[in-house]
């Protein structure tokens, strides 16, 4: 690891109005900090042109002796020292005590990832501020990379600020024009929306439509959106606003203020409406602005990971990428069932003798069916089988969702834990545990040690956790500080038992998988399951790499081969809005070290030639190249398998399809490879013969150009190069 660290400290009270600047390592971006009438202010420029216009920083604290957040009504656009409560004001009256300039250039290796090494190269400005009227102190640390900015608030140990409650964080991101934006509605409990594409000034008018598709929402406001927020300026610069290392803090949304074309941070509240409980010394998460001259620059950025701490797990030998199959799609489509019986029993845990209840005959997680999936996984080189609906209580939860809690250790009578452990072990396959918490979080925490030990005792080393429904205790939100602390607690506890975690319905990732690499997957967005609930937008998978995937890998569960759901369940008329070839491409374009072949066994057995790509495609990479991209239109990615001279290429296209000539100049010179191209058949689109595909094999070198590759509407292509 190479490290270059320079440090200089300057002390001068006279600098309170003078701008302090730091440039990116390549000199093309500049961060300028100043104090305007007592308010901390920053500007971000690229090539001398503003990317983020002058924007204020600070906090509104909760008033002392106040039990309700409604005791204040503060709007950042019109606040002044005069109308703000003195003790609650932590945004004005600041002066500069000192500043420091530092720089770092290091290279680190992730446990798993999109490349085998990541460069962390930035220049840093740390400003130390004093609020004289309250004799309080706050620091702001800026790190400027060649591809963007990260900054956070730091609250040092001090006499006049120890315990404090955040009423709102007041970070601003002032925009320089009416940019095009790709966004989902601000919500405290779900990210499972289709994306909207509007100008910034169109957010308000489109918001009602944006939230109408999901009834289980807690909207954050008429102009509030979630991060990561992807934008494109009128002159073709790409911006992405997100956060990194969200620890002991609520998840950030962004409220768009139409009057001054500015986004202001909007933190997820708790049950009382408060936005965070902090104790000095502490710091906020990093706020990030990724900047690119091309859309592919956003995809290539590693700012989010670089702003997280190195792995806190010393021995990571047990953490590995996982390719898996499972009974999930059978149940999602409604052909099979989670529950063993249709009879709703007692809602009191442990009172039901399930062996005396009639089986519905459709329970997917039964011993014989799971053995069938284990056999399939072993035959095709898969690592694991995910089993959901194995444990008692699903009919109770469906019948009394807000009242039922699981114990995570008691199987249904048709699920033989010991026999399946033996059978899977003999076949060289792992079983992935499923913990649906029913959002009864305290119940889950009470059972966590017992549940994880049960996993260890029975050969499970990975768990998919779920948080469906309203959080219990009621009134808390999925993305508040309390729940964010819980998600991390579960991951840390899992590491004690050498268990990997794939969290669904949890908060959106902020790069914590670097610090805790046993967090190998998250859902945190609208995934493949919605294709069985009416369908995702055709361009959905061309937007996710720019938004959801900025914070970490997504367990999207691709690989669907039969697009008409009614062929599995005649009562379900949903259609998967994709071609089969695009389903293959998603294994490359949507990065994750955890990848599921999500369809049922018989659909793969009917198309072994197409299934070969899923069997072959790598999970871990030495290098990733983002060859072409435009949010909402197409993404074309090439990746080199870790430790192998093999490449995989994927292209996913939206409503207009995509056609390209692909140069293979990234291959090693002087070597001959075989390229296997899986592409949409001529005239294929998501709504026209979507399962039609062609496979072509060619000998290629680094001088080859694959001419006229076509992804249909909602289509794609995938290529393996060996």
Active site residues: 529
Do 437 and 418 touch, CB atoms closer than 8 A? no
Asked if 265 and 275 count as a contact pair (C-beta separation under 8 A), the reply is no
Residue 684 CB contacts under 8 Å (≥ 6 apart), including other chains: 579, 581, 690, 692, 693, 712, 715
Q: Is 23 exposed, middle or buried (0-12, 13-18, 19+ CB in 10 A)?
A: middle
Q: Are 692 and 681 in contact (CB under 8 A)?
A: yes
Question: Cis omega (within 30 of 0) on the bond before 613?
Answer: no
Q: Which helix (H) or strand (E) holds 122?
A: strand 118-131
CB atoms inside a 10 Å sphere around CB 708 = 8
Please name the residues in contact with 73: beta carbons below 8 A apart, sequence gap of 6 or more.
none
Q: What is the spatial distance between Cα 563 and Cα 580, in angstroms, rounded to a whole number?
A: 8
Q: What's the rounded Cα separation, in Å, for the pair 121 and 229?
A: 24
Please answer whether residues 390 and 434 qualify as being in contact, where contact means their C-beta atoms are separated by less than 8 angstroms.
Answer: yes
Q: Which residue has the tokens 């069985």?
A: 532
CA trace torsion 208, 213, 214, 215 (10° rounding): 80
CB 523, CB 546: distance < 8 Å = no
- For residue 228, is the peptide bond before it cis, meaning its omega torsion is within 30 degrees of 0? yes
Q: 503-527 burial by CB neighbour count: b if 16+ within 10 A, else e?
A: bbbbbbbbbbbbbbbbbbbbbbbbb
Encoding tokens for residue 487?
């998600």
**Torsion angle (degrees, nearest 10) of CA 530, 531, 537, 540:** 80
Q: Could you check whether the bond before residue 281 is cis, i.e. omega within 30 degrees of 0?
A: yes
In degrees to the nearest 10, what's the CA dihedral of 347, 352, 357, 362?
Answer: 60
Contacts of 202 (CB under 8 A, 6+ apart): none
Sheet holding 716-721, edge to edge: 621-630, 634-641, 647-653, 716-721, 673-680, 693-700
Pairing relation of β-strands 39-46 and 229-232? unpaired
């Amino acid at each position: 690891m190479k490290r270059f660290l320079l440090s200089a400290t300057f002390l001068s009270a006279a600098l309170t109005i003078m701008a302090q600047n730091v440039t990116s390592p390549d000199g093309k971006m500049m961060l300028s900090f100043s104090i305007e009438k007592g308010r901390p202010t920053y500007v971000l420029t690229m090539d001398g042109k503003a990317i983020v216009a002058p924007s204020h920083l600070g906090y509104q604290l909760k008033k002392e002796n106040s039990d309700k957040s409604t005791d204040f009504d503060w709007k950042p656009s019109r606040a002044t020292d005069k109308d703000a409560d003195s003790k609650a004001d932590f945004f004005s009256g600041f002066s500069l005590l000192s500043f420091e300039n530092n720089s770092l250039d290091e290279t680190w290796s992730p446990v798993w990832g999109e490349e085998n090494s990541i460069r962390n190269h930035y220049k840093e400005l740390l400003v130390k501020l004093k609020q004289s009227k309250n004799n309080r102190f706050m620091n702001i640390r800026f790190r400027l990379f060649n591809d963007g900015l990260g900054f956070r608030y730091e609250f040092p140990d001090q006499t006049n600020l120890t315990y404090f409650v955040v009423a709102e964080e007041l970070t601003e991101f002032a925009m320089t024009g009416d940019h095009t934006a790709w966004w989902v509605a601000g919500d405290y409990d779900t990210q499972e929306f289709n994306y909207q594409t509007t100008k910034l000034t169109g957010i308000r008018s489109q918001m009602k439509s944006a939230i109408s598709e999901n009834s289980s929402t807690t909207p954050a406001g008429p102009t509030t959106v979630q991060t990561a927020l992807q934008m494109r300026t009128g002159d073709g610069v790409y911006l992405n606003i997100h956060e990194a290392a969200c620890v002991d803090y609520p998840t950030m949304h962004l409220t768009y203020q139409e009057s001054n074309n500015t986004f202001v941070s909007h933190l997820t509240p708790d049950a009382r409406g408060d936005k965070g409980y902090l104790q000095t010394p502490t710091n906020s998460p990093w706020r990030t602005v990724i900047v690119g001259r091309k859309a592919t620059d956003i995809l290539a950025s590693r700012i989010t990971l670089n702003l997280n701490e190195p792995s806190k797990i010393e021995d990571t030998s047990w953490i590995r990428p996982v390719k898996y199959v499972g009974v999930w799609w059978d149940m999602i489509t409604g052909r099979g069932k989670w529950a063993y019986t249709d009879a709703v029993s007692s809602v009191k845990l442990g009172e039901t003798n399930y062996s005396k209840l009639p089986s519905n005959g459709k329970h997917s997680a039964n011993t014989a069916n799971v053995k069938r999936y284990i056999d399939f996984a072993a035959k095709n080189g898969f690592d694991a089988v995910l089993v959901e609906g194995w444990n008692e209580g699903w009919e109770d939860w469906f019948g009394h969702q807000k009242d039922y809690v699981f114990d995570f250790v008691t199987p249904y009578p048709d699920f033989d834990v010991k026999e399946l452990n033996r059978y899977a072990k003999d076949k060289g396959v792992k079983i992935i545990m499923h913990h649906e918490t029913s959002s009864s979080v305290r119940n889950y925490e009470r059972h966590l040690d017992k549940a994880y030990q049960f996993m260890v005792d029975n050969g499970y080393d990975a768990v998919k956790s779920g948080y469906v429904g309203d959080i219990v205790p009621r009134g808390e939100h999925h993305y508040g500080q309390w729940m964010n602390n819980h998600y991390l607690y579960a991951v840390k506890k899992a590491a004690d038992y050498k268990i990997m975690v794939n969290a669904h319905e949890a908060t959106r990732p902020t790069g914590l998988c670097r610090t805790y690499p046993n967090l190998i997957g998250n859902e945190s967005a609208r995934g493949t399951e919605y294709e069985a609930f009416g369908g995702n937008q055709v361009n959905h998978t061309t937007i996710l790499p720019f938004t959801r995937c900025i914070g970490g890998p997504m367990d999207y569960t691709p690989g669907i081969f039969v697009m008409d759901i009614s062929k599995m369940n005649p009562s379900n008329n949903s259609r998967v809005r994709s071609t089969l070839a695009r389903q293959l491409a998603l294994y490359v374009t949507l990065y994750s070290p955890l990848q599921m072949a999500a369809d049922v066994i018989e659909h793969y057995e009917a198309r072994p030639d197409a299934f070969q790509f899923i069997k072959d495609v790598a999970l871990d990479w030495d290098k990733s190249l983002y060859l072409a991209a435009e949010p909402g239109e197409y993404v074309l990615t090439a990746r080199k398998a870790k430790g192998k001279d093999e490449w995989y290429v994927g292209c996913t296209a939206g409503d207009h399809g995509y056609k390209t000539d692909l140069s293979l100049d990234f291959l090693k010179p002087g070597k001959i490879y075989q390229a296997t191209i899986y592409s949409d058949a001529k005239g294929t689109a998501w709504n026209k013969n979507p399962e039609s595909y062609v496979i072509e094999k060619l000998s290629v070198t680094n001088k080859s150009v694959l001419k006229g590759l076509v992804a249909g509407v909602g289509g794609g292509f995938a290529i393996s190069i060996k």
